[in-house]
């Protein structure tokens, strides 16, 4: 392999665009599969979160701590989400 070989402008543009398109497709695929709940779990989380009103980050932190203590959490992939996070960030 010749280390002194220069990359042509056409090749550089091709590689750059290919990498960009590949990264975009991978990001879109992960975003698409992010969180899908069944109807019953979705209803349970909405009912639970309707009883509280989270308006600030401080209230969110307290709600997250409360949910962790009371086992109001679910795993999605390798991440642990509390009901408060799901309701606050609109992940439903």
What band does 92 get if pLDDT is binned at 50, 70 and 90? low
In a domain, residue 5? The reply is no
Structural domain for 43, as ranges: 39-89
DSSP state of 34: S
The answer to whether 38 and 56 have CB atoms below 8 angstroms apart is no
Q: What is the pTM of this model?
A: 0.59
Res 2 pLDDT > 60: no
For 24, the enclosing helix (H) or strand (E) is helix 9-32
In a domain, residue 29? The reply is no
What domain count does the chain have?
1
Q: Write out pLDDT tens, residues 4-60.
A: 677 788 888 898 899 989 888 877 765 544 566 788 888 898 899 888 888 888 999
The answer to whether 67 and 73 have CB atoms below 8 angstroms apart is yes
What band does 63 get if pLDDT is binned at 50, 70 and 90? very high
In a domain, residue 26? The reply is no
Six-digit token pair at 9?
């402008």
């Amino acid at each position: 392999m010749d280390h002194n070989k220069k990359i042509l402008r056409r090749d550089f543009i091709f590689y750059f665009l290919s990498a960009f398109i590949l990264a975009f497709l991978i990001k879109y695929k992960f975003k698409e599969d992010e969180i899908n709940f069944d109807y019953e779990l979705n209803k349970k989380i909405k009912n639970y979160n309707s009883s509280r009103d989270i308006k600030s980050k401080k209230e969110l932190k307290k709600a997250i701590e409360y949910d962790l203590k009371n086992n109001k959490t679910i795993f999605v992939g390798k991440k642990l989400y509390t009901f408060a996070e799901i309701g606050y960030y609109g992940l439903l």
